[in-house]
Amino acid sequence: MAKTKIAVLISGRGSNMQALVEAAKAEDYPAEIVLVASNNPDAPGLEFAEAAGIDTEVIDHRDYDDRQAFETALDQTIKLYNTRFVCLAGFMRILTPWFTERWRDLLINIHPSLLPAFKGLHTHERALEAGVRIHGCTVHYVRPEMDDGPIIGQAAVPVLPGDTPDVLAARVLEAEHKLYPQCVALACSGKARVAGERVRLQAREFGAELLMNPHD
Ligand code: GRF
């Protein structure tokens, strides 16, 4: 089976990128990560990618006069690798409509909340402040508006008494590492296509049981 080539963009730790790299080691995984690119030369995730034998590129946004020049360089670099999809994994630059439209339905993001709730930063603090009982993460196709776009998948975790933002973040991150590879696989195998700004899934539901918290 020919694997779909993907690029992963990171800015930091890169644990979601690592989860994708690990998943892609399976022979039957439909995607192959051929490029890990970062806007941050010091992103710790770059070392992991290099050690895994994956090509890395740094496109430091500080080297460019404006967003357009940065995004043009990013786009050109990615194109050299002939990737079909681009996955954002903790990529901390806002992308303009020029870039997101060029990669429409081919650009995927993971966000640490159950969208459309808690777009933006500090999602775990905000979830705790709001007193929600269920929190989680979302994988979606990217649209020009931040943290917006057709949803491929979501994973929910309970918010538990005594949770701090860090404890909750760790619980969500564990779910992210399961959800992202699953959703990228669906996209790469053509089982999560966009139709009318919704994702039409051709896949088994992950689970149909009621998700309830607290239960008792
Ligand atoms: C993750 O929580 C992801 O959802 C968000 O940024 C964080 C990146 O973590 N977009 P990592 O770099 O993948 O470890």
* Residue-wise pLDDT tens digits, 63-96: 999 999 999 999 999 999 999 999 999 999 999 9
Number of Cβ atoms within 10 Å of the Cβ of 69: 12
**Closest ligand 1 atom number to CA of residue 176:** 4
Predicted pLDDT of residue 195: 96
Determine the Cα–Cα distance for residues 16 and 175; give it in Å rounded to an integer.
Answer: 10
Predicted pLDDT of residue 206: 63
More confident residue, 30 or 215: 30
**Closest ligand 1 atom number to CA of residue 19:** 13
C-beta separation of 77 from 57 below 8 A? yes
For ligand 1, residues with CB inside 6 Å are: 10, 12-16, 89-90, 110-112, 137, 173, 176
Minimal-distance CA residue to ligand 1 atom 10: 90
Structure tokens belonging to residue 53? 């034998």
pLDDT tens, position by position, 150-205: 999 999 999 999 999 999 999 999 999 999 999 999 999 999 999 999 999 997 76
CA atoms within 13 A on the CB side of 3: 17
pLDDT tens, position by position, 101-159: 999 999 999 999 999 999 999 999 999 999 999 999 999 999 999 999 999 999 999 99
Pairing of strands 31-38, 4-10: parallel
The angle that helices 123-130 and 165-188 make with each other, rounded to 10 degrees, is 120
Catalytic residue among 61, 111, 124, 177: 111
Minimal-distance CA residue to ligand 1 atom 8: 90
Compute the mean pLDDT over every residue in the chain, rounded to the nearest whole number.
Answer: 96
Predicted pLDDT of residue 205: 64
Decide if 111 is catalytic.
yes
Predicted pLDDT of residue 131: 98
Minimal-distance CA residue to ligand 1 atom 12: 14
Predicted pLDDT of residue 147: 96
Predicted pLDDT of residue 204: 72
pTM, two decimal places: 0.97
Q: Name the residue of 110, 125, 183 whose CB sits within 8 Å of the most ligand 1 atoms, as the mutation to test its pocket.
A: 110
